[in-house]
């Protein structure tokens, strides 16, 4: 099922949580809503689920107006940040809940429910916790049970609100990859909210970057990372260094420009390379990791973040407080002041 | 509610022995020793005498009245106190603070004052009583009046035990239920109510215990006709006034044992329902 959001606006008091948003999620896509807190991403998700009502605009499910449909009739699976499991029910009863509350006419038999629950437990790789209560499980396990519960009713859309937000780093990473594989198997239209760019870049087919109620950019992870549509997207998706420069661009000669360069796009050398090279002092070196991360400071007080390969680092024999030159090799984004 | 505190496994503050010793001493002085005097006094009777006193028709009628009206009023409070707690915990409206303070009123008001006020309202020529009289209902000086007084006295116990649990209830679990296709009734009956049940039982128990022992407010509205509207605590007072200390103790011992049994039973139910939600 595809989801289409048309001219959606939501106002809380005098705060515009969502400001005239348009968005289309195709059937089977895994889309990330990425943005800082307060950017309206969770509100958008909740409006799609019917947990909030929009002030203006419309939501279409497969082209059909969903405004009049109540949450319980929307057939969406919703996974909450804090799991929202029913603590007085066993894991089995939690997962079976959605099937047991169906109207008598279409309710499956207890036998069928049992089979379905075990199937889902197998899917989330937690067969052995069937009889436990949610409070006896770890955070990662609870979130997988919450996912199984949401999937029990065979939703057409899966909505995940910061699903890994309250888990520790290791579990987050595992579940992230697991969600990716899981989506590849099921191909259910999924929309997940996150404020973690790494998570969005790693998991999603498409990223929607949001800021103060508006969409800044929609694109593949590659597009939003390498071709950001705005300074906000650029900043939000990774570290970036700012160069003030006289540019020799072909069309506009000698205009002041701001060049935004990612840490790995900076070249380090002992001697200046071109007119854009900046003399800096290395203030911090962290060689632990697949690349070497360094902080540098220029004489006019600008701070730069640099990332070079281990080989380069060894070849240059860099140590702390060395004086070197930084030169942008590529530019991710530039702004011209006219 | 109290079960929450017993699971402290690691203590940072010292003084376990001192505080336990203090607790036992204090409880002995305040509760156990006076209660044991009751048993000692009652044991000066032979069993036949004891049985004669407690199985006398007048005594039996008083027991039935006391426990019956206490159960009825605690049940009424369980239902309507639940509603009041629900409204107070879930909605905000002008005057909410005033209503919130009103709930505590029965706690603070001297019970005799409550009894006199209720009697004047529900007596056949009172504000409410005159209309009840028109449709043939007599409130004051009947068991119905006793139920009214006990309901008044017990209301805050239910409201104040349920309210904090309701406030802590995560709205997300209701949303989760809705997303799974549950209608409002199923969301309430299968998701919310089971979580509130332990505190509802606690509130019911407290309200019931208070009602069984209530004296001040009831004697004004009850009419106190022996065998009809005479509650057990009043019967005890009557015996005391006649210097029949043994008789009073005998009646009190039976009340104590029955109350104890009922409290154990409800605590057991409460323990079972709390265990399921990981609270004990």
Exposed, middle or buried: residue A293 (CB in 10 Å: 0-12, 13-18, 19+)?
middle
On chain A, the residues whose CB falls within 8 A of the CB of B173 are: 84-86
Long-range Cβ contacts of A4-7 (<8 Å, 24+ apart)? A4/A59, A4/A60, A4/A63, A5/A44, A5/A48, A5/A57, A5/A58, A5/A59, A5/A60, A6/A57, A6/A58, A6/A59, A6/A60, A7/A56, A7/A57, A7/A58
Q: What is the DSSP letter of A22?
A: E
pTM for the whole thing?
0.79
Residue A256, token pair as written in the block:
């002041």
Neighbours of B272 (CB within 10 A): 13
**B194 interaction partners in chain A (CB closer than 8 Å):** 88
pLDDT on residue A243: 78
Q: Are B212 and B251 in contact (CB under 8 A)?
A: no
Q: Please tell me if residue B179 touches chain A, with a CB cutoff of 8 Å.
A: yes
B175–A78 CB contact, under 8 Å: yes
Asked if A69 has any chain B CB less than 8 Å from its own CB, the reply is no
Which residues on B lie below 8 Å from A85 (Cβ)? 173, 176
Looking at residues B86-102, what average pLDDT do you find? 91
pLDDT tens digits, residue range A141-165? 999 999 999 999 889 899 999 988 8
Tell me which residues of chain A, numbers 251 to 280, contact chain B at a CB-CB cutoff of 8 Å: none
- Flag if A133 and B278 touch (Cβ within 8 Å): yes
Q: Do B179 and A149 touch (CB under 8 A)?
A: no
Report the candidate in A135, A47, A261, A61 with the shortest Cα–Cα distance to residue B278.
A135
Chain B environment of A77 (Cβ under 8 Å): 179
pLDDT for residue A181: 87
Alpha helices in A74-186 (DSSP H): 91-100, 110-123, 139-152, 169-186
Residue pLDDT, tens place only, A14-43: 888 999 999 999 999 999 999 998 898 999
Classify residue A241 by its DSSP letter.
Answer: E
Specify the pLDDT at position B9.
61
Higher-pLDDT residue of A73, B80: B80
Distance from CA of B272 to the nearest CA of A (A): 11
Residue B14 Cα to chain centre, angstroms: 36
* Predicted local distance difference test score (pLDDT) of residue B51: 92
Architecture of domain B46-279: Orthogonal Bundle (1.10)
- Mutation site for B-interface testing, chosen from A46, A72, A150 by largest number of B Cβ within 10 Å: A72
pLDDT tier at A336, thresholds 50, 70, 90: low
The more confidently predicted of residues A336 and B186 is B186
pLDDT (mean) for A167-189: 86
Q: How many CB pairs under 8 A join A and B?
A: 75
The reported pLDDT for the residue numbered A255 is 57
B218: its two tokens: 């009831």
Pairing of strands A256-261, A189-194: unpaired
* Closest to A143 measured CA to CA, from A122, A128, A165: A165
Tell me the average pLDDT across A117-135. 90
Range B80-109 average pLDDT: 91
Position A338 scores a pLDDT of 52
Query: What ipTM was predicted for this assembly?
Result: 0.82
Distance CA A222, CA A207 (A): 9
Q: Does residue A298 surpass a pLDDT of 50?
A: yes
Q: How confident is the model at residue B173 (pLDDT cuts 50, 70, 90)?
A: very high
Domain map (residue ranges) of chain B: 46-279
Q: Check if B269 contacts A (Cβ < 8 Å).
A: no
Tell me, what's the pLDDT at B63?
92
pLDDT attached to residue A252 = 44
Chain A residue with CA closest to B194: the answer is A88
Is residue B171 within 8 angstroms of chain A, CB to CB? no
Cβ–Cβ of A70/B178 closer than 8 Å?
Answer: yes
What span, in angstroms and rounded, lies between the C-alpha atoms of A269 and A296? 13
Give the pLDDT confidence score for residue B229 in this predicted structure.
Answer: 87
Residue that the structure tokens 């022996």 belong to: B226
Set of chain A residues whose Cβ sits within 8 Å of the Cβ of B172:
80, 82, 84
B176, B178, B185, B192: which to substitute to probe chain A, counting the most A Cβ within 10 Å?
Answer: B176
CA distance B208 to chain A (A): 26
For the cut 50, the answer to whether the pLDDT of residue B280 exceeds it is no
Q: In A, which residues are within 8 Å of B178 by CB distance?
A: 50-51, 70-72
CB atoms B180 and A87 under 8 Å? no
| Interface contact flag, B178 A133, Cβ < 8 Å | no
Q: Which residue do the tokens 């139910």 mark?
A: B269
Task: Kindly state the percentage of chain A with pLDDT values over 70.
Answer: 96
A317: contact with B, CB 8 A cutoff = no
If you ran DSSP here, which 8-state letter would residue A35 be given?
A: -
Q: Does B191 touch chain A (CB under 8 A)?
A: yes
Residue B27 three-state SS: helix
- Residue B129: pLDDT band with limits 50, 70, 90: confident
Q: A106-111 — which CB contacts under 8 Å span 24+ positions? A: none
Choose among B175, B186, B277: nearest Cβ to A101. Answer: B186
User: Which residue, B3, B22, B37, is CA-closest to B256?
Assistant: B37
- Determine whether B146 is exposed, middle or buried from the number of CB atoms within 10 Å of its CB (0-12, 13-18, 19+): buried
Out of B175, B177, B181, closest to residue A102 by CB: B181
Tell me, what's the pLDDT at B275? 77
The model's confidence at residue B4, banded by pLDDT at 50, 70 and 90, is very low
Nearest CA in chain A to B196: A88
Residue B138, C-beta contacts closer than 8 angstroms, at least 6 positions apart? B124, B132, B144
Residue of B nearest to A85 (CA): B173
Position B123 scores a pLDDT of 87
Mean pLDDT of A255-271: 83
Contact B178 A51 (CB under 8 A): yes
Å between A158 CA and nearest CA of chain B: 11
- Would you state the pLDDT for residue B103? 92
Which tokens belong to B151?
């309901």
B10 against B202, higher pLDDT: B202
For A227-256, what is each residue's pLDDT tens digit?
Answer: 888 889 988 888 888 877 655 444 444 456
Residues of chain A with pLDDT > 90: what percent?
Answer: 41
The predicted structure's pLDDT at residue A1 = 85
Asked whether residue B30 carries a pLDDT value surpassing 80, the answer given is yes
pLDDT for B279: 54
Residue A152: count of CB within 10 angstroms of its CB = 23
- pLDDT tens, B227-262? 888 999 999 999 999 999 999 999 999 999 998 898
Averaged confidence pLDDT in chain A: 87
Q: What is the pLDDT of residues A206-229, one digit of tens each?
A: 999 999 999 999 999 999 988 888
């Amino acid at each position: 099922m595809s989801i289409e959001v048309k001219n959606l606006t939501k106002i809380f008091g005098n705060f515009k949580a969502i400001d005239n948003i348009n968005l289309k999620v195709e059937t089977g896509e895994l889309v990330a809503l990425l943005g800082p807190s307060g950017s309206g991403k969770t509100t958008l998700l909740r409006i799609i689920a019917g947990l909030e009502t929009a002030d203006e605009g419309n939501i279409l499910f497969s082209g059909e107006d969903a405004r009049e449909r109540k949450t319980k009739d929307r057939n969406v699976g919703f996974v909450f940040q804090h799991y929202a499991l029913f603590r007085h029910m066993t894991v089995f009863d939690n997962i079976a809940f959605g099937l047991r509350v169906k109207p008598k006419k279409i309710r499956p038999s207890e036998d069928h429910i049992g089979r379905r629950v075990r199937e889902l437990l197998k899917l989330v790789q937690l067969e052995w916790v069937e009889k436990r209560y949610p409070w006896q499980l770890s955070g990662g396990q609870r979130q997988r049970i919450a996912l199984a519960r949401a999937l029990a009713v065979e939703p057409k859309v899966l909505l995940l609100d910061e699903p890994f937000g309250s888990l520790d780093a290791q579990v987050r990473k595992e579940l992230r990859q697991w969600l990716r594989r899981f989506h590849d198997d099921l191909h259910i239209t999924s929309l997940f909210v996150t404020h973690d760019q790494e998570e969005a870049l790693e998991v999603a087919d498409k990223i929607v970057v949001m800021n103060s109620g508006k969409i800044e950019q929609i694109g593949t992870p590659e597009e939003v990372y390498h071709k950001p549509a705005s300074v906000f997207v650029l900043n939000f998706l990774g570290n970036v260094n700012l160069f003030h420069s006289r540019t020799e661009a072909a069309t506009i000669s000698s205009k002041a420009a701001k060049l935004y360069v990612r840490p790995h796009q900076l070249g380090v050398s002992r001697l200046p390379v071109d007119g854009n090279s900046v003399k800096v002092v290395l203030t911090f070196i962290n060689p632990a990791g697949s690349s070497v991360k360094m902080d540098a400071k220029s004489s006019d007080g600008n701070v730069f973040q640099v990332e070079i390969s281990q080989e380069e680092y060894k070849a240059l024999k860099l140590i702390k407080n060395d004086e070197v030159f930084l030169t942008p090799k590529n530019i991710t984004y530039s702004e011209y002041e006219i | 509610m109290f079960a929450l505190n017993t699971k402290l496994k690691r203590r940072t503050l010292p003084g376990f022995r001192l505080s336990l010793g203090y607790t036992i001493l204090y409880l002995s002085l305040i509760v156990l020793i006076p209660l044991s005097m009751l048993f000692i006094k009652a044991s000066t009777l032979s069993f036949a005498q004891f049985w004669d006193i407690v199985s006398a028709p007048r005594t039996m009628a008083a027991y039935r009245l006391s426990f019956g009206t206490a159960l009825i009023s605690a049940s009424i409070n369980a239902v309507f106190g639940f509603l009041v707690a629900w409204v107070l915990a879930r909605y905000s409206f002008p005057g909410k603070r005033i209503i919130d303070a009103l709930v505590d009123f029965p706690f603070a008001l001297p019970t005799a004052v409550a009894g006199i006020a209720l009697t004047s309202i529900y007596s056949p020529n009172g504000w409410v009583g005159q209309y009840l009289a028109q449709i043939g209902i007599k409130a004051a000086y009947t068991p119905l009046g006793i139920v009214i007084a006990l309901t008044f006295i017990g209301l805050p116990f239910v409201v104040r035990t349920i309210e904090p649990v309701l406030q802590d209830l995560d709205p997300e679990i209701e949303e989760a239920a809705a997303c799974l296709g549950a209608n409002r009734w199923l969301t309430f009956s299968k998701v919310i109510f089971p979580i509130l049940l332990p505190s509802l039982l606690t509130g019911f128990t407290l309200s019931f215990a208070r009602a069984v022992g209530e004296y001040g407010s009831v004697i004004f509205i009850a009419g106190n006709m022996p065998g009809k509207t005479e509650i057990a605590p009043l019967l005890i007072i009557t015996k005391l006034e006649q210097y029949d200390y043994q008789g009073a103790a005998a009646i009190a011992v039976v009340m104590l044992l029955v109350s104890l049994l009922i409290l154990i039973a409800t605590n057991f139910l409460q323990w079972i329902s709390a265990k399921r939600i990981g609270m004990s």
